[in-house]
Structure 1
């Protein structure tokens, strides 16, 4: 195993810790609400405030990495994340716990893009597909295993343990990183900080994710939520023109002129939305409609993770054989068909068939995300990868954050005119229909797209 692969696996481990922490808290919310003697909607702030903080501070990560060095910023981020996890586990009040979640969000926002940049900053195009494949698995595995792990912890132990599990992981990651990552490759040029750009993007991200979260509180909040999301989207457009014109932007958006990068950000954002929503929708559906226990429901969702792992050794071979267009089309087709089939399962459906559908969905997601990650920086010059990485992280975070909120609102809307069971079924149909967008987009890209990575 080469040093580059060891570093990629180490960065993937830090990403896994961050993504799982952002997901696993959901399963412990009822226990937390009971412990702090407050409403479930109040405790739910622990999830939303984390996602919003991550989205706000991610644009800052590229500038900090340039200013203080990749290794230093990554180690600081992992250290703060680990310490704030301990603070969350020991928090005596909800207010202190919320404060710890803000710190976790800030450190997670620094950790994720910097980890990707450490792996990709000097990777030549011909090795991008291999190296990015190591960075995909945390985003695939963490959302699938988190509900099961969280369910087991809440059922058999105390909710505080969901934060404590970050401590050994964080300490080991830091110790290995101190010796494995070279310091002399981290010095970068210093540019003036773009305060205006940061404020604009922070406001836009905050409005979009806050609006999405507000929409899940009921239909009486939908108008205000829609206005917030629209205002946030408008601010994003405004900040885009600012970043194009200012002399020293927070990060450059010139990478959007590159076909392969632009393609991964448009269709890829739709896929990330689905990736965030499917494990959540399946877990809630099996608990609410089938009346399964959280542990039993999560044990079936885990088959999404098994599908991710099963196809992983073959994704690079498949992509090279079918090219990017062929691999992505088949991946989208698997996600679409499995979503449609999950919409028609009933309480009498054979359990192994439900597990198989989750497994197929996992295969499709894994293949698609591996292909998208291989394409993202295929034609981006080394000098522009920091900015491209920051931009991609902002878009990915917003897409993932919107996934659960969007499907929650849609199920609520559908339930106004049909039974709750049918509303959830249409939720699965919606996630399947979403795949039409990237499939149609495939028809517009060149047949040779991404060939530099082979």
Structure 2
């Protein structure tokens, strides 16, 4: 396939897969209360259905770059789409919570190979001056998933059953598989690096154990001594990986890339920021359905303004970054996100609908600008030869921070709820309000990490995109 044809069709291939992944995640969040009632568990306990998926992404993403280099981008991407589609069917057939969580882990494995490999192909196909525009083009169609997901999920749950939400992925997955086979470039390294299995065991094991501890804290009877021992083990495994990565020629995640200032700020700052916003997709449906007493379909409608605003921002984010620069945008926008999250602490049964819609619009608008800025800044000063590793590291940290953020949001809510039943509407609403305030404070504090940027940072990306290149 010619270079011009690859540039023309590749964004559509990646966008179709992202549409499926985003549609799935937003549908699942809306259906959590119905799942809990069907499986006879509490809604907060089903955070594992969401977090297990995100965690499997974080654990498996580090090896996706090596697999693409070793087996070819097209083969890995196509296999990932097929795994994701098959896992969706298994989710719909699940008869209990453990089976559903296991199927979600398999879904995460598929998504772990799908998203980073697609991003690697985008980075290798487009020059830096066209990178922001290409990424925005990919994200705009993918945002149709969050736009439709809450409403489609709410309607499916209202008229059918929660199991049917997973079967929606099947036709989309088949379409993505067909497009990938036809239009995906088959990038492959001539001499792929050997796999770092020791690094995978240390990093994956430590991250998974740490996330699991956040999951079970306050939910199960885990004594202080076992919890402290497991926490020490998780930290030791991650520390051992840092030691290991500095002593092997081809580590799983090459930590030396963090010496690049823009990459380091993007990854570290993005990690802390996502800790604050990572819990919102899980907590907001709980606020709407359990706190405000809205049906699932109406709760889904309440999520649509955020996705619509996110799509709108993608059309102007390049111009905003070109005019204001990455440093100013990230510092100010992070504070605006935190302020918006804090405003959700004022949402209750008597809140006007127009006010909730306005909050949703602001959240989608600011989040979209934030993610576009953080994701593109990571590659501003990275050489082409390191693009695969940089994409792998950035994707891993993004998913890991989202997993921790979701667990923290649920943990904070459970902490303030105390021993009260989650069916107590006023008590749950109050606990959610405290959680929003806590996450808002964490988000605002994360803006400090972007002070290390310089005014000219990111110009290699923003100036070309702001000039109107597509």
* Matched residue, 1:317: 319
- Deviation per CA, 1:425-446: give whole Å up to 9, x if none: 2222222222333322222221
In structure 1, distance between residues paired with 2:315 and 2:257: 30
* Matched residue, 1:152: 155
* Matched residue, 2:434: 426
In structure 1, distance between residues paired with 2:194 and 2:288: 52
Shift in Å, 1:225: 5.5
Structure 1 unaligned regions, length at least 5: none
In structure 1, distance between residues paired with 2:199 and 2:56: 17
Shift in CA distance, 219/316, structure 1 to aligned 2, threshold 3 Å: farther
* Matched residue, 2:291: 289
Shift in Å, 1:403: 1.6
- Deviation per CA, 1:41-86: give whole Å up to 9, x if none: 8876544443333332222211111110111110111122222323
- Deviation per CA, 1:180-210: give whole Å up to 9, x if none: 1233x43442222211111111101211221
Q: Is the 8 A contact 2:380 2:460 kept in 1?
A: yes
In structure 2, distance between residues paired with 1:221 and 1:48: 23
SS in 2 for 1:101: helix
After superposition, residues 8-407 of structure 1 pair within 5 angstroms as 8-29=11-32, 31-32=34-35, 45-90=48-93, 97=100, 99-137=102-140, 142=145, 145-183=148-186, 185-215=187-217, 217=219, 228-229=230-231, 231-407=233-409
In structure 1, distance between residues paired with 2:457 and 2:334: 17
Shift in Å, 1:383: 0.8
SS in 2 for 1:443: helix
- Deviation per CA, 1:7-49: give whole Å up to 9, x if none: 1232122123224334533444555566667787887654444
Between 1 and 2, higher relative CO (CA 8 Å, sep ≥ 6) is seen in: 2
Q: Which moved more, 1:239-248 or 1:315-324?
A: 239-248
Q: Is the 8 A contact 2:151 2:297 kept in 1?
A: yes
SS in 2 for 1:387: helix
2:450 pairs with one of 425, 442, 445 = 442
Shift in Å, 1:249: 1.6
Q: Is the 8 A contact 2:73 2:121 kept in 1?
A: yes
In structure 1, distance between residues paired with 2:221 and 2:141: 34
Shift in Å, 1:125: 2.0
SS in 2 for 1:434: helix
In structure 2, distance between residues paired with 1:225 and 1:25: 30
Shift in CA distance, 362/237, structure 1 to aligned 2, threshold 3 Å: same
Q: Is the 8 A contact 1:286 1:297 kept in 2?
A: yes
In structure 2, distance between residues paired with 1:91 and 1:231: 32
Shift in Å, 1:283: 2.1
Q: Which moved more, 1:90-99 or 1:17-26?
A: 90-99
Q: TM-score, normalised by structure 1?
A: 0.89
Shift in Å, 1:144: 6.5
In structure 2, distance between residues paired with 1:430 and 1:142: 28
In structure 2, distance between residues paired with 1:38 and 1:294: 18
* Matched residue, 2:422: none
In structure 1, distance between residues paired with 2:319 and 2:285: 32
- Deviation per CA, 1:95-124: give whole Å up to 9, x if none: 765554343222222112111111112432
Shift in Å, 1:373: 1.4
- Deviation per CA, 1:128-173: give whole Å up to 9, x if none: 2212223445786655654433222111113232121111111111
